[in-house]
Structure 1
Amino acid sequence: MSSPNATSSPAVAQNESVGLKFNPNFVLETPEPVVGADLSGRVVVVLGANVGLGFEASKHFARMGPEKLIMVCRNETKGNEAVEDLKQATGFDAVELRIIDLSNFASVCDFATKYTKEVGKLDVLVANAAMLPASYESTVDGWEMSLQVNYLSIALSTLLLLPVMIETAKEAKYKPRVVVVSSSMHEQTTLDEKVIDATSILQQMNDGEYCKNFDIMKRRYSDTKLFGVFFVRELSERLTRSGSPLIVNVVDPGRCESQLSRNLPLQVKQQIMAMNLQRYTTEEGSRALVYGAVGEIGSDNEDDLKGAHIRRTRRIKYGEFVTGEIGKQLQKRIWDEMSAILYKVEPRVTDVVTNSLG
């Protein structure tokens, strides 16, 4: 659902239902070829692996021959179907399904605990999961659905798996990586003053009364993608200070086909389809995820991908708001809020932040 800016002064149209913007003068660039690597002896985990970008990326990884490919999905039935489809498409058998429901913190913690005990090795984590909200909906944990699914649970799962990746790095031939899937839509928001001035940014954005405002919810997807960018940048900075070799980056697959709008009303889905007449296929979009995971592997340029913003298969600068003074302050403030919230969910988070990060 993301789109690169292809002209210097585009005429912008907007879907008023969900706040999506697009450039009618957009010119689809020729997709870069998918990069490859030898993944033998390496374990790859892909969240949201049963459909769309996650499934296509999983197929690419399978063809690279990892020691194990773990497809992580919310629904066991659909997940098993995806595993069988992948096996038939690639001939790769070292694949297993694990279940996680990102709208439920207990499910995230259970997944991480079992993974640590039963697998205990992780070379590549692709944090690919998102939902596009049309209105306010609360999770079982009392959080606005997209704020938890798109941001808090992605952060929680990453932090809880981080110790496994740090241990893996001690014996690994190549540096383990975390890839967070974002969108250029993070550049379309700067957070409003009521949020920035609130005692707690995340609690304000979770407030039911605040979220009743239509203009607030139609930009929520962009807001959560901005938080994901802040998370990657802060995590990468802390890993670097700690001396960790781990590589964390954020990728934008470009405007492409997906099932992001599958739970939206029919009229909204039709509007989104009309917006995206020019788009990449899901497979073409998945190449960004693959590049973030294995691009430049083993080369002298590999460390350039630490904290990098990757659009499709090339590094680009972050938006001015992200790198400006206000953005830098928000990045650290939201990290501290997120850490405190997740510590209450799972005390291990504090141990990870304190002992594994600088």
Structure 2
Amino acid sequence: MSAHAINDRRHGQTTLAHFFFAFVRGPCKLLSSGAWGERCRLAKFGGECIHSDFHICEDAGRMGNHVASELPKSCDVENLWLCERASVVMAKFSVLLFLREQWTVLVVTGTNVGLGFEAAVHLAKLKPKRLLLTTRDEAKCKQAKQDVEQCSVTNNIEAWPLELGSFDSVRKFADRIESEGFPINAFIANASIATFTYAKTQDGWETTLQVNYLSTALLSILMLPHLIKSTTASDTARLVIVASDAHFRANKLKGVANWPSILGKLNDEEYCTASVMKNRYELSKLLQVMFVREPASRLPNPTPVSVTSINPGFCHSRLTRSVESNLVMKLMVHVGKALLARTTEMGSRALMHPAVEPSERDRHGRYMSCVEVAEESDYALSEEGKEISRRLWEETIEILAKIDPRVNQIISQHLLAR
């Protein structure tokens, strides 16, 4: 298991070293995913110094003094060594790749603040044909569009409302995509919430369970035909679901084999005690990781869509705002962020990487942490975890098909039976 996925197998919890290595190593490899995809560049660790004649590559041992001597003085070369496999080579500019990226259509959900906003700014700088942002309402859409345009100096941006706490909103978003008929090259499902409080949506589901899992799953399935439409022989569409290494800390579902319905039990108010809800965000991220494996294993080979779950790491963001209403939790979160959290911009690069970098089929169906393919938690990889994944998929499709009849049509048309 790689350093950024260290798991304390004795206790089933992520160790402090997990966060440390994720923080230190994470951003390095992502430096190669700057503007224009493979257009090569050199950027200092976590900084803004960019030199377009260089890029970071994965081959070890090529970084020498003759290369370092050519770097601009403003670059902090020493920091590059934090990435143990980083090296610097001369770059070649690809005209075909540059032109291809001018015709891409990219979609990011949850873009008014945090990781989604910073990822949208990065993607806007690629100058895609169309960049579609989503926020919860029209007012936030207008503000997000304006903010991203100002930061990226581009105007090919749209913002549509999407409230994942409402299945009706998800359906309307999918209807609008379908009516306009445009293909999608990359879809980043970023929107999530974290709360300790049990509350139900208007659809009757516990809020975190619906927003982080059910609506994300519904949206992912409804976007599949539009992603497949954009796929070519040389370029596979990408579906990126923003999970988290928090899934390592998800509690085991005790007695799950005897539950008639996993999702039904997780939605039950009597089951959702205070201790259960304190672990609800972590569990929702485990469900996302498990979900990704199922459609990925059912898509044809070679796959027309690369489906990936990613961990951006522990970042400064507003995700924790609802749990900070408790004074003790607020203090713990602030101390944790001060000691361990990377910047929001730095974390956003992890969202951008699988959406634009090559070798997308190598990442298909996998979990990525700090822009490297990594192992999921022991629980997710266990036989019990695999059985839960299978049951979750069947339950999820049954539930979502009642919400939107297109679900069964898409499953039968684009996914293989197992």
TM-score, length-normalised on structure 1? 0.89
Instruction: Report the count of equivalent residues.
Output: 342
Alpha-carbon offset, residue 162 of structure 1:
0.8
Supply the distance in 2 between the matched residues of 1:7 and 1:201 (Cα, whole angstroms).
26
Which one of 377, 384, 389 corresponds to residue 319 of structure 1?
377
**What is aligned with 1:17?**
none
User: Could you tell me how far 1:4 is from its partner in structure 2?
Assistant: 4.8
Select the residue among 51, 58, 66 that pairs with 2:113. Answer: 51
Residue 318 of structure 2 corresponds to residue 259 of structure 1: yes
User: Per-residue deviation at 1:330?
Assistant: 1.0
Counterpart selection for 1:244 from 300, 303, 307: 303
- 1:281-332, Cα deviation, whole Å (9 max, x unpaired): 001001111112112x2xxx43211112111221112222212211111111
Residue 226 in structure 1 maps to residue 286 in structure 2: yes
Larger radius of gyration: 2
Between 1:190-199 and 1:70-79, the stretch displaced more is 190-199
Is the Cα contact below 8 Å between 2:289 and 2:309 reproduced in 1?
A: yes
Alignment of 1:94-133 (within 5 A): 94-133=156-195
Q: Judge conservation of contact 1:10–1:23 (CA < 8 Å) in 2.
A: no
Checking the alignment, whether the CA contact within 8 Å between 1:132 and 1:261 is kept in structure 2 is yes
Tell me the amino acid that sits aligned with residue 415 of structure 2. L
Alpha-carbon contact 1:59-1:86 (below 8 Å) kept: yes
1:188 is matched with which residue? 249
Stretches of structure 2 that go unaligned for 5 or more consecutive residues are 38-97
The superposition leaves residues 170-218 of structure 1 with CA deviations (integer Å, 9 ceiling, x where unpaired) of x57521000000111111225322444210000000001111x111111
**Aligned counterpart for 1:70 among listed residues 129, 132, 149:** 132
2:16 aligned partner: 23
Equivalent-residue separation in structure 2 for 1:196 and 1:260 (angstroms):
32
Write the distance in 2 (CA, Å) between the matches of 1:192 and 1:311. 24
**Per-residue displacement from partner, 1:84-108 (whole Å, max 9, x unpaired)?**
1111111111000111110000000
Q: Distance in 1 between matches of 2:348 and 2:242?
A: 10
1:167 is matched by which residue type in structure 2?
K
Structure 1 residues without counterparts, runs of 5 or longer: 14-20
1:282 counterpart letter in structure 2: T
State the percentage of identical aligned residues: 35
Is the 1:5–1:23 Cα contact (8 Å) retained in structure 2? no
Corresponding position of 2:210: 148
SS of equivalent to 1:259: coil
- Contact 2:5/2:375 (CA < 8 Å) preserved in 1? no
What is the Cα deviation at residue 119 of structure 1? 4.2
- The reply on whether 1:345 has 2:403 as its aligned counterpart is yes
Kindly report the root-mean-square deviation, in angstroms, between the aligned alpha carbons of the 2 structures. 2.3
Contact 2:238 2:355 in 1 (8 A): yes
**Offset of residue 351 of structure 1:** 0.8
CA distance in 1, matches of 2:310, 2:18: 23
Does structure 2 conserve the Cα–Cα contact (< 8 Å) formed by 1:131 and 1:150? yes
> 2:254 is matched by which residue type in structure 1?
E
AA partner of residue 314 (structure 1): E
RCO greater where, 1 or 2, for CA within 8 Å and sep 6 or more? 1
How far apart, in 2, do the equivalents of 1:26 and 1:324 lie?
Answer: 23
User: Does the C-alpha gap of structure 1 residues 195 and 326 become closer, same or farther in structure 2, counting only changes over 3 Å?
Assistant: closer
Q: Take 1:127 and 1:236, find their aligned partners in 2: how far apart are those partners? A: 16
> How far apart are the structure 1 equivalents of 2:261 and 2:8?
36
Report the alpha carbon displacement of residue 24 of structure 1 after superposing the two structures with TM.
8.1
SS of match in other structure, 1:276? helix
* Counterpart residue type for residue 263 of structure 2: L
Matching residue of 1:284: 346
Q: Does 1:307 align with 2:379?
A: no
Looking at structure 2, the residues matched to 149 and 71 of structure 1 have their Cα atoms a distance apart, in angstroms, of: 17
